[in-house]
Amino acid sequence: MQIPRLHPDTIEEVKQRVDIVDVVSEHVVLRKRGKDYVGLCPFHDEKTPSFSVSPTKQMYYCFGCNAGGNAIKFLMEVGKSSFSEVVLDLARRYQVPVQSLAPEQRQELQRQLSLREQLYEILAIAAQFYQHALRQPQGEAALEYLQSTRKLSLETIQQFGLGYAPTSWETLYRYLVEQKHYPVQLLEQAGLIRQRQSKNSYYDYFRDRLMIPIHDIQGRVIGFGGRTLGDEQPKYLNSPETQLFNKGKTLFALDQAKSAISHADQAVVVEGYFDAIALHAAGITNAVASLGTALSLDQVRQLLRYTESKQLVLNFDADAAGTQAAERAISEIATLAYRGEVSLRILNLPEGKDADEYLHTYTPEHYREILQKAPLWLDWQIQQIVANRDLKQADQFQQVAQKMVKLLKLIDNSDTRNHYIFRCAELLSLGDSRLISLQAETLSQQVTPVQSNRKPQPFKKQQQSSAFPLTSDRSLLEQAEALLLRIYLHCPEHRQAITEALQARDLQFSLSHHRFLWQQILAETALENNPVSSDASDPLFSRLQTRCLQFEREMTSISHLFYLDEKTEHDLLRATQGVQAAIACMERVMCEKRYRLYLELWEAIDPKEDPERSRSYYELLYTEQRRLQQLDRQRQFSLTDLI
């Protein structure tokens, strides 16, 4: 379906509801720096964070690639989606009523929006059905398993909404279709039933399984995990991928753990549902579980939204499978970890136990003590490298040393790298302190990155003559026009003066992307009763930004004008002088064009044959030359000092 044009009220309501920090942090690991947040830019490769998010202005900006805009623009760029698609998705997410400017399409639009709500409703009813079945005679074995084997209280069972899927092939199907009268297609889209090969009937997706509801961050049921009570494989079965459920982007119990994660400033990730449930039951409520897959970057970013120090502890099983799971998780988030964007620790419990098994034997206090001592991921990886290795054997020593070098080369921070070089040297020295410095020097020689022979190209700055030849330096003209537009956007008190100056001197923006923005400004100010607004929220600025977002190609060239860094904020303190300099610059371009035109016309005429026209062009030349000199004198400071 083609998405209809959305009503401005809907767009404005979405902008009011959305939080740019929440939106961006789903894709970028952010750290608080002063009043803003910083992280690595998702739009270009970089090692040092130059990407800034301002919660007060609800804007982002990258000082490296100049990408910038609001939450809507960010999602358009990240997801390669249209303006309407992003606004519609945010409207669903923040439960904003959607209005369309096309009345004939409203019914279809509302139907699309209501589909997700119907799926939420069906899954919630299915969860209630499973919970009810757990307390029926058919669910006795499942309830006994939870209470005796898993040692869960009725309170915990209720807290996590645990239930039971009956053995029959069509119990849930009949309940939802025949009693509740839900369409079969909706049940199938919710991942609750499947169509038989004969195509004329359906069967329940989950049968004779202990049911564990999976919730989104807002606490709504989006899927289920089902554990078999017999020998059926797989032991754990998750809901299929649906419009609501994506297991690679979902963390079990995050809806219940997010507050505790913020309070503890730490997130604990375990492998299984019951590991997370056992930890919550023990009062360790900052725990979540991955859904049987390797921890993904999307899942990590979700967690890091709730911890200021970005502390993440992976508590996977200590057996071979658990070690492999930890290695896979590390590989997924290696980029963040090596750059220090995640404070990652690895927790292996004694005796190879998982969290659930450990808490059956030991107290929560024991777990917390071990949790506090969990080694950093690099220490853990080094431990894995030397585990079960006899360093007295030359071949094993060489293998260990090579793996250490490979690991150390990936560490960007020189201080961290030097620390671990010394740590590895201690291990390779086998307790002989006299060999540590020698081993450290050997490792350092192999680890230190080889410097490239290529020299960075110096930035070539155009030399300015005293005549200030603007048309020979397009960059200066672009800077002047950009400065004028930036002042207009961010300094409402100067808008009238800018408009009057442009009109009085009959000036136009020379660069196409600047002309585009000025056209949008004129279109918006025509609708604005008072463009010189004293309102701090500046509705003209907000509406203008939204208007421009609908022009994706043009927005790439002007988005940086909507954002202020420290330098441009400082420059705007001299906005009056900036307007004068920019106007003078733009007028000089026009004067110079006219001067060259008159010069060509004058030179093409023989003064003996047409003395009157020759004299006329000469006078025009003289007038433009005088005006150029006046404009140069008006420049009281260099324009490039402002930009």
Domain boundaries, the chain: 8-101, 115-245, 249-374, 383-447, 470-641
Q: SS3 letters for 22-43?
A: HHHHCCCCCEEECCEEEECCCC
Q: pLDDT by residue (tens digit) across 398-443?
A: 999 999 999 998 887 777 888 999 999 999 999 888 888 888 888 9
- According to the model, what pLDDT value does residue 538 have? 65
Residue 516, both tokens: 């585009």
159 vs 447: which has the higher pLDDT: 159
Highest mean pLDDT among 39-48, 106-115, 444-453: 39-48
Contacts (Cβ under 8 Å, ≥6 apart) of 188: 194, 195, 202
- According to the model, what pLDDT value does residue 31 have? 84
**pLDDT band at residue 522, thresholds of 50, 70 and 90?**
confident
- According to the model, what pLDDT value does residue 533 have? 45
User: 286, 266 in Cβ contact below 8 A?
Assistant: yes
Highest mean pLDDT among 108-117, 221-230, 404-413, 521-530: 221-230
- According to the model, what pLDDT value does residue 231 have? 84
Q: Does domain 249-374 have CATH number 3.40.1360.10?
A: yes
Q: What is the mean pLDDT of residues 34-40?
A: 86
545 vs 357: which has the higher pLDDT: 357
Q: How far apart are CA 165 and CA 139, in angstroms?
A: 8
Look at the domain 115-245 and name its fold.
DNA primase DNAg catalytic core, N-terminal domain (3.90.980)
- According to the model, what pLDDT value does residue 466 have? 31
- According to the model, what pLDDT value does residue 188 have? 95
Beta bridge partners of 224: 213
- According to the model, what pLDDT value does residue 609 have? 83
Determine the CATH number of domain 8-101. 3.90.580.10
Q: pLDDT by residue (tens digit) across 255-275?
A: 999 889 988 999 999 989 999
% the chain with pLDDT above 70 = 89
Among 208-212, 308-312, 385-389, the least confident range: 308-312
Taking 70 as the threshold, does the pLDDT of residue 635 lie above it? Answer: no
Count CB neighbours of 103 within 10 A. Answer: 9
User: 97, 10 in Cβ contact below 8 A?
Assistant: yes
Q: pLDDT by residue (tens digit) across 330-341?
A: 887 877 887 777
**pLDDT band at residue 531, thresholds of 50, 70 and 90?**
very low
Taking 50 as the threshold, does the pLDDT of residue 463 lie above it? Answer: no
Q: How far apart are CA 171 and CA 130, in angstroms?
A: 11
Among 36-45, 246-255, 385-394, 570-579, the least confident range: 570-579
- According to the model, what pLDDT value does residue 287 have? 97
Q: Are strands 287-289 and 267-270 parallel, antiparallel or unpaired?
A: parallel
Nearest to 69 by CA among 81, 84, 57, 85: 57
Taking 50 as the threshold, does the pLDDT of residue 534 lie above it? Answer: no
Residue 484, both tokens: 């004028």
Tokens 């993904």 correspond to 296
Contacts (Cβ under 8 Å, ≥6 apart) of 263: 286
Q: SS3 letters for 289-352?
A: ECCCCCCCHHHHHHHHCCCCCCEEEEECCCCHHHHHHHHHHHHHCHHHHHCCCCEEEECCCHHH
Nearest to 509 by CA among 473, 529, 484: 484
Highest mean pLDDT among 57-71, 203-217, 497-511: 203-217
Among 152-166, 273-287, 360-374, 612-626, the least confident range: 612-626
Taking 80 as the threshold, does the pLDDT of residue 7 lie above it? Answer: no
496 vs 415: which has the higher pLDDT: 496
Q: How far apart are CA 626 and CA 629, in angstroms?
A: 5
85 vs 632: which has the higher pLDDT: 85
* Angle (CA) 119 122 124, round 5°: 105
Q: How far apart are CA 410 and CA 439, in angstroms?
A: 19
Among 5-9, 154-158, 295-299, 571-575, the least confident range: 5-9
Among 94-103, 200-209, 567-576, the least confident range: 94-103
- CA torsion sign for 521, 526, 530, 532 is positive
Q: pLDDT by residue (tens digit) across 289-320?
A: 998 777 888 888 888 878 888 899 999 876 77
- According to the model, what pLDDT value does residue 415 have? 79
% the chain with pLDDT above 90 = 37
Q: What is the mean pLDDT of residues 155-166?
A: 97
Residue 47, both tokens: 């090692």
Q: Over the chain, what is the mean pLDDT? A: 83
611 vs 132: which has the higher pLDDT: 132
- According to the model, what pLDDT value does residue 620 have? 82
30 vs 465: which has the higher pLDDT: 30
- According to the model, what pLDDT value does residue 600 have? 81
576 vs 136: which has the higher pLDDT: 136
Highest mean pLDDT among 183-187, 325-329, 507-511, 552-556: 183-187
The type of residue at 560 is: H
**pLDDT band at residue 166, thresholds of 50, 70 and 90?**
very high
